[in-house]
Structure 1
Amino acid sequence: MNSLKLLLICSVFSSIAYAAPPLTLPQAIDYALANNPELQIMQARIDQAQDQLGLAMANYYPQIKAGIAYQHSNNPAEAFAMIIAQRRLDFAGTDFNHPGGVDNFREQIGATYSLYRGGQDSHQAQAAELGVAASELDQAAVKNRLVSNITAAYYAQLAAVDAQQVSESSVSAVQSELTQSQTRFAAGTVLKSDVLSLQVQLAEAKEAQIQAANAVEMANTMLKTLLGMSANEPLAIKETLAQALPKNPPKFDALLTQALVQHPELQAAAKRVAIAEQQLAAAKGAYLPRADAYASYGFNNRSPDFDTDRDNVSVGVQVEVDVFNGFATQAKVKKAGHELTAAQEALRQQRLQIESAVKSAQLRLQEALNRADVAAVSVQAAEEALRLVNEQRQAGVVTVTRYIEAEVARDKAHTRQISARFDALRAEAELKQATGGF
């Protein structure tokens, strides 16, 4: 039994020793950047874009193939062609009309090289390069949005924790007043209605405490999801000095100029317009002629042997142009043109969305800062009012109803101050995201 207790004690101390320390906001952001699955997905897309670039660049290299083929024929034209390729034609004693069955093994290595394809290769390569850049910008946009969401979730949990502390303080204060009132009621100096009112107030305070505790858990779960953690993993956060109220935002024009220059989503949309332009040029290149050089070296034998006396070489250049392919090229050009139009409109839409996001974030930040100023004054007034009412309550000058009103007003003032403070911090994060500042 003693050994079991010792084991339990060791287990408890071991879990405490290995418990992760509370995370600051910068630490939470670093953790998310290393573990969030969305960023890993974006990295995979960058790798895919680089692979696509490799495919596009492959057209600049010669294509080399090696192979072996076997053919048997008694067709006079094919049979004599194989006999000649094998360099064993004998005019004497040869029946040209009935050569019999002929076996031919062809071992060959061949190479082709694209000399010109109407600029399609270069346009596709440039489009692939732009695709890599666009994927990297998409990853930067996801990172920008992730940091903003983590910041908002982090402050939301801190706000929930502060609200929970206010609710616990309220429960303690009302419980203390109820205990005193019950003692006075027993002594006959307080009305029963005052005791009942305090009991109602205590029930409401406990309900608010339960809601606040649940809000902390919900905020913690949301933050874990953003960090790439499972819901069962422990997570604790702590406040830092960096969480002071932000400054007033700059003018809208300055913010918008900053966003248009550095916002990754806008830059990615511009890259996609350039990609669509290159793809349209590549589609139009199909109207032009194509030229390819080719060379092959091989052996023709009756058996699969390598005989240098029977080798042969072929080289040449082939030029061709599509005269009619069922309007396929025309359809591809139209499709590429529509994709370019869609990319241009997506760029315009992205700019409008950024303008709206910047303006909204600026207004929310300014509103939250103004609310924080008002809330600070309100808290001071509510605290002083509660102090005076409490003194009057102890002296029996005011009723318990007046005390409850002052208590509720104080709690609401603290709640508004907490909300305004963290709303300002979240609005600052939203403004940084809107301007691409993370």
Structure 2
Amino acid sequence: MQPYNSLIALGVSAVFAVSLVKIDPAQAESAPNLPVRTEAQESPTPSEVRQQRLAERRSVQAAPAVPETSSPAPARPRAQAQPAPPSPAAAPSESAPLPKPGQPSTGQETGQEANPAPAPAAPVPSAPTPAPTPAPPLVVPTEPLAPAPSAAPSETAPLPSTGQETPTLPSSPAAPSNRRNANRAPENLNPSPNPLNFPTTPEEVTVVESQPITLQQAIELAIRNSPTLQQTRLELTQSRDALREVRAANFPTLDATSSLTGSAQEGLEADNAQGVATGTSSRDITTSLNLQTGLQADYNIFTSGRRSSAIRAAEGTVRFRELAVEVETKQLVLDVSTSYYDLQEADQQVEIFQAALSEALQSLRDAQALERAGVGTRFDVLQAEVDAANARQDLTQQLSSQEVARRTLAQRLSLAQATDITAADEVAAAGSWALSLEQSIVTAFKNRAELEQQLVQRDIGEQRRRNALGQLGPQIGATATYGIANLLSSSNESSEFSTEGKGFFNNASVALNASINLFDGGAARAQARQQEANIAIAESQFVNARDQIRFQVEQAYSILQASSENIQTTTLAVQSAEEALRLARLRFQAGVGTQTDVIQQQTALTRSRVNNLGAILDYNRSLAQLQRFVSNLPDGNLSETP
């Protein structure tokens, strides 16, 4: 009886060990090198040892059918893996960990702790690695996602995908010239070189191609083709020529003259016969030919400050025009950046409302399916139809706004008539701002060209005032002349006397001239008072520009800070709205929710996506405004005074 009981106990223990191996593969994998023991095997007999080895061989044969998983550390609690079917296409259980994006699924976790159990005599062969399971459509991260320029749009991003590939870094750095050529704007976007050319047929204005461009390429095209900037540059060239004209007063003027004069004179002469008058007269004709050549030099020695003040005023005008070119260039960059961000916003809103229309149509199909199944109502279908119609109307309006944004940017860039452009850059935060508000204000005061323009305008008014008062002072000048003359011929018919040229005769003179304006009716002083008023106007405009610059910096800085916080907030709101819409649709399909809940969550998701898009683009706009409002210097150098 005792051996029979021992045999029954041994069989029960073996079956229990085999059942442990088959039912709990996680424990079999976590400790594959340890033999399975029970309390009844504390003192095994030889027959029990044979049965135990038989159970081990059975466990070894059953091990390859179980997918190999990672052996977790004893201190890390995790859900035990459920037995998977042998088919590789079977979906994993809900407790199985999801593969990370960009990481191959090897079936083993990174950083797992080694199993301290000793190796068995016969090691268990590893099972083949199953195929990687695709990630679910919604992955909620544990931390807020910060937008990055190089991040590719994914299903977890708050914005819908733009369909553009993620730029990859080159394996080896290219030459600077190659990078510049790669980033240059396409030449086919340039307008006609003839500024007076305009289309005369519909074919000439028909858009035949759409070219995607980056923000830097758009800025390059604007600086190259802007007619307003070209006009400002021409005004600068004009002022430089005016400066050369005024500086010419520092040098004397030299004039050369030459004349060839022929004359004939007719007169009457009384006839005398041996000293006695006969009472008759004869006609007398005298002709001559005279050549004269001369040089004259004039120089204003003293002008009572008029010459120097006119030169300084012209130099100030040149400086004013240079600053105007700088201001126009930086303002053009800001306008192009704003228009480019507007186009990005229009493109993304089109995708957002396309997604909203897709969600509305899906809700309509669900409502119609439930109505056909007899568990839905006609009211739910009508609500879904109204929501789909509204979404379609919103999409149509956004498509119109997208076209307007494209043509607005094309107008700023002065593109060719038959070309259109699209935004190639992805929607992401453009960068960061390192200066504080106080540092930004002080830097703007030091580097804004508008403040220096008013100071230059004030100096121009002062120089013109001195020029006007100089009219009342003495004016001293010198004149030097040198000439040669030659009487080529002279003849008289009555006396039959004639002479030929006998050579040149020289003449020279030097004169010193002085003049003073004793009375001009008050014209000079009236001109001086006009310039004094211009000086006061420039000072008033300086104060106005200073206050405006501070307000611009403070406003842009405040929007930048608020937009930076809103990016994080709206990113989480988009993720929550996506999950809420998914749950609302599942509840409605299960019959425990209403169509109104789905429509409300669709509206909330669309609003969250629009808010997130607006936060990112408001951040980029305010950053571009700060870069424009703080400094106009392209190289970023700072000066101590305006």
Change in 2 beyond 3 A, CA 1:303/1:367: farther
Q: Look up the match of 1:407.
A: 602
Residue 35 in structure 1 maps to residue 230 in structure 2? no
Residue 109 in structure 1 maps to residue 304 in structure 2? no
State the Cα distance separating 1:73 from its structure 2 match: 11
State the Cα distance separating 1:355 from its structure 2 match: 1.4
Runs of 4+, deviation exceeding 6 Å: 69-74, 100-105, 301-307
Secondary structure of 1:236's counterpart equals strand
State the Cα distance separating 1:413 from its structure 2 match: 0.5
Greater Cα offset, 104-113 or 30-39: 104-113
Letter in 1 for 2:545: Q
Q: Distance in 2 between matches of 1:72 and 1:256?
A: 79
The question of whether the paired residues in 2 share the 8 Å contact of 1:156 and 1:219 is answered with: yes
State the Cα distance separating 1:231 from its structure 2 match: 6.0
Q: Look up the match of 2:248.
A: 58
Q: Distance in 2 between matches of 1:156 and 1:323?
A: 65
CA displacement, residues 209-253 of structure 1 (integer Å, 9 cap, x when unaligned) = 011111111111111122122564211221158x42543674332
The within-5 A match list for 1:64-103 is 64-68=254-258
Aligned equivalent of 1:195, options 374, 381, 390:
381
State the Cα distance separating 1:39 from its structure 2 match: 1.2
RMSD: 2.9
CA displacement, residues 305-339 of structure 1 (integer Å, 9 cap, x when unaligned) = 99863332221111111111222211221122122
Secondary structure of 2:504's counterpart equals helix
CA displacement, residues 111-165 of structure 1 (integer Å, 9 cap, x when unaligned) = 2111110121112112212221211111111111111111111111111111110
State the Cα distance separating 1:64 from its structure 2 match: 1.9
The within-5 A match list for 1:17-416 is 21-68=211-258, 107-229=293-415, 232-240=418-426, 243-244=428-429, 246-247=431-432, 250-299=435-484, 309-416=504-611
Change in 2 beyond 3 A, CA 1:244/1:306: farther
The question of whether the paired residues in 2 share the 8 Å contact of 1:69 and 1:106 is answered with: yes
Change in 2 beyond 3 A, CA 1:399/1:53: same
Q: Distance in 1 between matches of 2:587 and 2:345?
A: 33
Q: Distance in 2 between matches of 1:417 and 1:344?
A: 44
Q: Look up the match of 1:3.
A: none
Greater Cα offset, 331-340 or 166-175: 331-340
Greater Cα offset, 413-422 or 293-302: 293-302
State the Cα distance separating 1:70 from its structure 2 match: 8.4
The question of whether the paired residues in 2 share the 8 Å contact of 1:225 and 1:231 is answered with: no
CA displacement, residues 82-119 of structure 1 (integer Å, 9 cap, x when unaligned) = xxxxxxxxxxxxxxxxxx99997754331211111012
Q: Distance in 1 between matches of 2:324 and 2:501?
A: 55
Secondary structure of 2:255's counterpart equals strand
State the Cα distance separating 1:284 from its structure 2 match: 2.3
Residue 436 in structure 1 maps to residue 631 in structure 2? yes
The question of whether the paired residues in 2 share the 8 Å contact of 1:246 and 1:424 is answered with: no
The question of whether the paired residues in 1 share the 8 Å contact of 2:210 and 2:419 is answered with: no
Letter in 1 for 2:631: G
Equivalent pairs: percent with the same residue?
26
Q: Distance in 2 between matches of 1:203 and 1:28?
A: 37
**Structure 2 portions without partners, runs of 5+:** 1-207, 265-285, 490-499, 635-642
State the Cα distance separating 1:68 from its structure 2 match: 4.8
Q: Distance in 2 between matches of 1:285 and 1:332?
A: 11
State the Cα distance separating 1:45 from its structure 2 match: 1.0
Task: Considering Cα pairs closer than 8 Å and 6+ residues apart, tell me whether 1 or 2 has the greater RCO.
Answer: 1
The question of whether the paired residues in 1 share the 8 Å contact of 2:488 and 2:502 is answered with: no
Letter in 2 for 1:327: G
Secondary structure of 1:325's counterpart equals coil
Greater Cα offset, 265-274 or 100-109: 100-109
State the Cα distance separating 1:372 from its structure 2 match: 2.2
Q: Distance in 2 between matches of 1:58 and 1:223?
A: 45
Q: Distance in 2 between matches of 1:186 and 1:50?
A: 82
Secondary structure of 1:22's counterpart equals strand
Change in 2 beyond 3 A, CA 1:418/1:282: same
Q: Distance in 1 between matches of 2:502 and 2:531?
A: 52
CA displacement, residues 27-66 of structure 1 (integer Å, 9 cap, x when unaligned) = 1111111111111111101101101111110101111223
Secondary structure of 1:316's counterpart equals strand
The question of whether the paired residues in 1 share the 8 Å contact of 2:211 and 2:419 is answered with: no
Say which one has the larger Rg.
2
Q: Distance in 1 between matches of 2:250 and 2:621?
A: 51
Letter in 1 for 2:423: I
Letter in 2 for 1:24: T
Greater Cα offset, 191-200 or 169-178: 169-178
Q: Distance in 1 between matches of 2:608 and 2:502?
A: 99
Q: Distance in 2 between matches of 1:418 and 1:150?
A: 19
State the Cα distance separating 1:185 from its structure 2 match: 2.2
Secondary structure of 2:478's counterpart equals strand
Q: Distance in 2 between matches of 1:345 and 1:125?
A: 25
Question: What is the TM-score with the length of structure 1 in the denominator?
Answer: 0.83
State the Cα distance separating 1:301 from its structure 2 match: 6.2
Question: What is the TM-score with the length of structure 2 in the denominator?
Answer: 0.58
State the Cα distance separating 1:199 from its structure 2 match: 0.7
The question of whether the paired residues in 2 share the 8 Å contact of 1:144 and 1:436 is answered with: no
